[in-house]
Chain A
């Protein structure tokens, strides 16, 4: 990965422990990472900056991950969105968000899997 081309990643998770360690791992492999503690902040960040990849936790206060995806439905990519959740995604949700979500990840996400998935998303 070239250092002069910054790849911007947004990590939105209300759990600080997950959020800052995930951001730390992605920074360690060279991404430029911004953190958001809820869906609303995430949307504000996306409105300000064009992110390449957005990692969205589903359950967040103020505005959850699914409503963030719904808000971004109309917008043409980027960003590439990945959903992360401690729960399974039911078939209806998947079908509903399919057009806009690149990948679904299940918590806890093994770091190697996270790096690989973000790498694929960034190259998408």
Chain B
């Protein structure tokens, strides 16, 4: 059976496969988006929680510093601003490089430095504007100034008013451009920025783990109270807070899901193609069955026709034989006479009777169930014999190829086959032409070709030519080629009918060289 299955499966991917893959892919992407969003929410929630805790820590630190500054103010009030006590009490504070501390008192609306330690305050000088401004709003709790510059350095002031009109001010240098290290402890996994303002104003940056850069990734913001001011803490995670597996889960879902989508598409494609293939095979088998059934019906019909033909052919032989005999007796009785018209009638009667006898011969020959008796036959001798009994009509040349070969065949059937083919060839050339008979010995078959130079065969009827009673000739029984086919079949051979490139038809019979099966 042809592997084609009617043109073979299409190379184009089936729409159903594409739809299946796309639907699964859409579901996968939706799942990914949902999971990814969920993980991001969890991450943000953890970050926010950490930031809140950090701001609480900051609150505590601020509160502690506030208490120590307030204590210093109160000690100074009790000791009437003892310079020696101030110096010893503030020693630990100014030990930190660049940090200064001062006690300032409000005199006619201006805060003047009364006691000072560290590099940035001088006794008797007024507080600088940012600190003075902060002092006017400060209370008993620690409050702060804005970040401001003195020379090239940046400073932050922290202050309390220990009693009305008296402020304790600590001025600390800050270096926000230098990343703070924050590598141990519970918040080491965080990046952190602290602003001395309620918004992330770069000029108010107090400290940051990443210097002046913006914190990378998602951030959480919390406001912490420093006296009446609000400070902003901003955190972001150095690495995922929910854990690598959780962060990776949506991506794993996406990759695995897309792979599954592709597999589903491929499986669907394979199933669709297999179904198509099976359907094509089923269709092919159906056609084969229908063809076989049609052939069977035709064979049965032909068989019935053939049997009837045999009976008719046989039954006609006796009356025809009697008629031929009677014609002979009539001529014999007439003896010598001079009646050309009567002779003409008798000649025609004889021709017509012989033609009827020949038809009977064809009819019975066609249905003759006889096995081929294979014996060595000299082809050249058989062809010469046929041409002698069926001589070429006028204006027909005969060209014989090399026929000096011996083959295994049923001699009588071979004679009949060649007679029929050669007689057909002659009839195909009513205006004259060339008959060629030649043989070809091949590995497994022996080919005998009979070629005429007539008008050729209509390709539409080629297949029907070997059917009994099919004829394209005005006069003919339609049995000649049917008999050839039958005898070729008896030899387990084949017949081919084709038009020659140079015009005319070629009838070739192929007889198997081994031919042992047909040998009785």
A interface residues (Cβ-Cβ under 8 A, vs B): 15, 17-18, 21-22, 24-25, 28, 86-88, 90-91, 107-111
Kindly state whether residue B27 has any CB partner on chain A within 8 Å.
no
Minimum CB–CB distance for A65 against chain B, Å: 15
- For A111, the chain B residues whose CB sits under 8 A away are 324-325, 328
User: With A28-B329, A108-B357 known to touch, is A87 a contact of B324 (CB < 8 Å)?
Assistant: no
The 3 A-B residue pairs with the shortest CB-CB distance, nearest first, are A108-B321, A21-B325, A17-B322
Interface readout for B313-345 with A: 1 if CB under 8 Å, 0 if not? 010011111101110110010000000000000
User: With A17-B322, A18-B322 known to touch, is A86 a contact of B329 (CB < 8 Å)?
Assistant: no
Task: Report 5 cross-chain contacts, Cβ distance below 8 Å, ordered by A residue.
Answer: A17-B318, A86-B318, A88-B370, A90-B370, A107-B318
A111–B324 CA distance with the chains assembled, in angstroms: 8
Contact A22 B325 (CB under 8 A): yes
Contact A15 B325 (CB under 8 A): no
Kindly state whether residue B373 has any CB partner on chain A within 8 Å.
yes
- For B326, the chain A residues whose CB sits under 8 A away are 21
The residue of chain B having its C-beta at the shortest distance from the C-beta of A17 within the complex is B322
A24–B325 CA distance with the chains assembled, in angstroms: 9
Contact A86 B322 (CB under 8 A): no
Contact A28 B364 (CB under 8 A): no
- Kindly list 5 other residue pairs between chains A and B, CB separation below 8 angstroms, not including A21-B326, A90-B370, A107-B318: A21-B322, A21-B329, A25-B328, A88-B368, A88-B370
- Which residues from 351 to 366 on chain B have a C-beta closer than 8 Å to any C-beta of chain A? 357, 360, 364
Contact B321 A109 (CB under 8 A): yes
Number of cross-chain contacts by CB at 8 Å = 53
User: With A17-B322, A22-B325 known to touch, is A86 a contact of B317 (CB < 8 Å)?
Assistant: yes
A91–B370 CA distance with the chains assembled, in angstroms: 9
A22–B321 CA distance with the chains assembled, in angstroms: 9
Q: Which of A22, A24, A108 has the most CB of B within 10 A?
A: A108
Q: Which of A22, A109, A110 has the most CB of B within 10 A?
A: A110
A17–B368 CA distance with the chains assembled, in angstroms: 25
Contact B318 A91 (CB under 8 A): no
- For B319, the chain A residues whose CB sits under 8 A away are 17
- Which residues from 108 to 143 on chain B have a C-beta closer than 8 Å to any C-beta of chain A? none
Contact A18 B364 (CB under 8 A): no
Contact A87 B364 (CB under 8 A): yes
A25–B332 CA distance with the chains assembled, in angstroms: 9
Contact A91 B328 (CB under 8 A): no
A108–B321 CA distance with the chains assembled, in angstroms: 4
The residue of chain B having its C-beta at the shortest distance from the C-beta of A13 within the complex is B318
- For B320, the chain A residues whose CB sits under 8 A away are 108
Which of B314, B318, B332 makes the CB contact (< 8 A) with A28? Answer: B332
- For A25, the chain B residues whose CB sits under 8 A away are 325, 328-329, 332
Contact B324 A108 (CB under 8 A): yes
The residue of chain B having its C-beta at the shortest distance from the C-beta of A110 within the complex is B324
The residue of chain A having its C-beta at the shortest distance from the C-beta of B327 within the complex is A111
- For B318, the chain A residues whose CB sits under 8 A away are 15, 17-18, 86, 107-108
Minimum CB–CB distance for B520 against chain A, Å: 8
The residue of chain B having its C-beta at the shortest distance from the C-beta of A24 within the complex is B329
A90–B369 CA distance with the chains assembled, in angstroms: 10
- For A108, the chain B residues whose CB sits under 8 A away are 317-318, 320-321, 324-325, 357, 360
Minimum CB–CB distance for A89 against chain B, Å: 10
User: With A28-B332, A91-B373, A108-B357 known to touch, is A86 a contact of B314 (CB < 8 Å)?
Assistant: yes
A109–B322 CA distance with the chains assembled, in angstroms: 10
The residue of chain B having its C-beta at the shortest distance from the C-beta of A21 within the complex is B325
Minimum CB–CB distance for A117 against chain B, Å: 14
A87–B332 CA distance with the chains assembled, in angstroms: 29
- For B357, the chain A residues whose CB sits under 8 A away are 108
A18–B322 CA distance with the chains assembled, in angstroms: 5
A55–B373 CA distance with the chains assembled, in angstroms: 27
- For A88, the chain B residues whose CB sits under 8 A away are 364, 368, 370
Interface readout for B64-100 with A: 1 if CB under 8 Å, 0 if not? 0000000000000000000000000000000000000
Interface readout for B292-320 with A: 1 if CB under 8 Å, 0 if not? 00000000000000000000001001111
- For B317, the chain A residues whose CB sits under 8 A away are 86, 107-108
- For A109, the chain B residues whose CB sits under 8 A away are 321
- For B520, the chain A residues whose CB sits under 8 A away are 91
- For A87, the chain B residues whose CB sits under 8 A away are 314, 364
Interface readout for B27-60 with A: 1 if CB under 8 Å, 0 if not? 0000000000000000000000000000000000
- For B373, the chain A residues whose CB sits under 8 A away are 91
- For A90, the chain B residues whose CB sits under 8 A away are 370
A109–B326 CA distance with the chains assembled, in angstroms: 12
Q: Which of A25, A86, A87, A88 has the most CB of B within 10 A?
A: A86
Minimum CB–CB distance for A37 against chain B, Å: 13
Interface readout for B480-520 with A: 1 if CB under 8 Å, 0 if not? 00000000000000000000000000000000000000001
A107–B520 CA distance with the chains assembled, in angstroms: 27
Minimum CB–CB distance for A12 against chain B, Å: 14
Minimum CB–CB distance for A30 against chain B, Å: 12
Contact A18 B321 (CB under 8 A): yes
The residue of chain B having its C-beta at the shortest distance from the C-beta of A57 within the complex is B318
- For A28, the chain B residues whose CB sits under 8 A away are 329, 332
Minimum CB–CB distance for A99 against chain B, Å: 19
